[in-house]
Amino acid sequence: MKVSILAQNLHGSEIIKIAGEINELKRQGQNIANLTIGDYDSNIYPIPDELKQGIIGAYNENQTNYPPADGVLTLRESVSSFLKSRYELDYSAKQILISGGSRPLIHSAYMAIVDPGDKVVFPAPSWNNNHYCDLTGSEAIIVQTKPENNFMPTADELRPYIKGAALLALCSPLNPTGTMFDKKDLEEICDLVIEENKSRAIGDKPLYLLYDQIYSQLTFGDHVHYNPVSLRPELKDYVIFVDGSSKCFAATGVRVGWGFGPEHIITNMKAIVGHMGAWSPKAEQVAMAKYIMDDTTVDSYLDSLKSRIQASLTALHEGFQQLKAEGFNVDSIAPMGAIYLTIKVDYTGKTTQDGTLLKNSTDVNFYLIKEAGVAFVPFSAFGTDNKVNWFRASVGASTLEDIQQMIPRIKAALAKL
């Protein structure tokens, strides 16, 4: 039966495919450590209790009707204060849009800016930009990045592709790598965007910058989160931010995201999100408005969450570094932010004990699922070639003990090859 061209060409999520394989093995009774989904196990990492009680209270107060299309005013005002105190960013309530998580913000930003056939530039690996290009009929310009730069794009790598583009999509801390821009590299990219916009004729569509900072509150050690507008205030009219509560408060199912940027772009995004019906639930908005204004409570929760996430990431990193020291062809990049560790398992071309050749990173991943009971996501799910033997490991659904116990299993499985 015929369906639309869009439906025919839209690719399914590789992560969901891997999850399906894991669920089938679990159904068969196997114990799999699932480091694939960028989510939290809410029994390991519950949302803040104050937020939870606030949501329950809002439902008890019957806050269950439609929210305003751009979000409850008290929440937009609270977000405005939150941005000012956390990032020294000055955005009014009219420049802020609330939606059901960050996905509608990204989708509506694409739809508000990008026309069919427009160029959209983004690095690989990165999350879902290819799918949003499919949804908008735009031309995906995928810029491959390098492990020696922590898989973060540089201005020199982006420069050949920027001319005439409608949108540059960036993320830091980056999903899937957990790595971050340093100040110098992001400044150079900002200068590249400024230079490109100055070269365009009056009346031309400018180059906009979509900046996803949903993990910005989850940074570790001396690593500092930077954003384009703080570094180059003249970019304020061209940067659309994606942010929200999902990752920093382990609140992925609460569905409260916030985007902010130039008022005329946010106004158009509001109309698009309204037609999608992709609002955040009103009770959750009412509770979030109150919660994020309590700096002491927020800081206490973040300190605890970050400490636990960093411990798991560090344990996984140290485990891989120990395997590397023992001669296994693996590696990892020290954790910087988010809930992800970038790991390398370079066993493409090896043969299993039953004679099966591991032809690519997908094969290596499924070998580890079956032989070590551990599941990662190959970077091929994020736009790289499937012969690139780097993977995303997400620790939000595992305990520290789970992480520690999987290292010997990985060692034993690799030793069989």
Q: What is the CATH number of the domain that holds 206?
A: 3.40.640.10
pLDDT for 14 beyond 80 = no
- 362-372: average pLDDT: 94
- Give strand ranges (E) for 229-323: 239-244, 257-260
Last residue of a domain, one of 265, 294, 323: 294
Q: Which of 29-33, 344-348, 391-395 has the lowest mean pLDDT?
A: 29-33
Q: What is the CATH number of the domain that holds 397?
A: 3.90.1150.10
Q: Are residues 41 and 53 in the same domain?
A: no
The Cα-based distances of 56 to 43, 49, 73, 396 in angstroms read 18, 11, 20, 24
Q: Are residues 21 and 54 in the same domain?
A: no
Distance CA 135, CA 160 (A): 25
pLDDT for 317 beyond 80 = yes
pLDDT, tens only, 154-194? 999 999 999 999 999 999 999 999 999 999 999 999 999 99
Q: Are residues 263 and 402 in the same domain?
A: no
pLDDT of residue 374: 96
Kindly indicate the confidence band of residue 6, based on its pLDDT and cuts at 50, 70 and 90.
confident
Say if residue 409 is exposed, middle or buried (CB neighbours under 10 Å; 0-12, 13-18, 19+): middle
Q: Are residues 275 and 304 in the same domain?
A: no
Kindly indicate the confidence band of residue 21, based on its pLDDT and cuts at 50, 70 and 90.
confident
pLDDT of residue 27: 84
Last residue of a domain, one of 261, 294, 327: 294
Q: Are residues 306 and 345 in the same domain?
A: yes
pLDDT of residue 167: 98
Kindly indicate the confidence band of residue 279, based on its pLDDT and cuts at 50, 70 and 90.
very high
Q: Are residues 375 and 317 in the same domain?
A: yes
Q: How many domains does the chain have?
A: 2
- 259-274: average pLDDT: 98
pLDDT, tens only, 203-230? 999 999 999 999 999 999 999 999 999 9
pLDDT for 15 beyond 80 = no
pLDDT for 1 beyond 90 = no
- Residue 173 φ/ψ region, left for φ over 0, alpha for ψ in the -120 to 50 degree band, beta for the rest: beta
Q: Are residues 94 and 198 in the same domain?
A: yes
pLDDT of residue 29: 85
Last residue of a domain, one of 262, 294, 326: 294
Q: Are residues 35 and 23 in the same domain?
A: yes
Q: Are residues 247 and 138 in the same domain?
A: yes
pTM strictly above 0.85: yes
pLDDT for 19 beyond 80 = no
- The domain of 15 spans 5-45+299-415
Distance CA 358, CA 375 (A): 16
Q: Are residues 114 and 249 in the same domain?
A: yes
pLDDT of residue 400: 97
Percent of the chain predicted with pLDDT > 90:
91
Average pLDDT of the residues of the chain: 96
φ/ψ (deg, to 5) at 56: -60, -45
Q: Are residues 89 and 152 in the same domain?
A: yes
pLDDT for 61 beyond 90 = yes
pLDDT for 17 beyond 80 = no
Q: Are residues 229 and 209 in the same domain?
A: yes
φ/ψ (deg, to 5) at 88: 60, 40
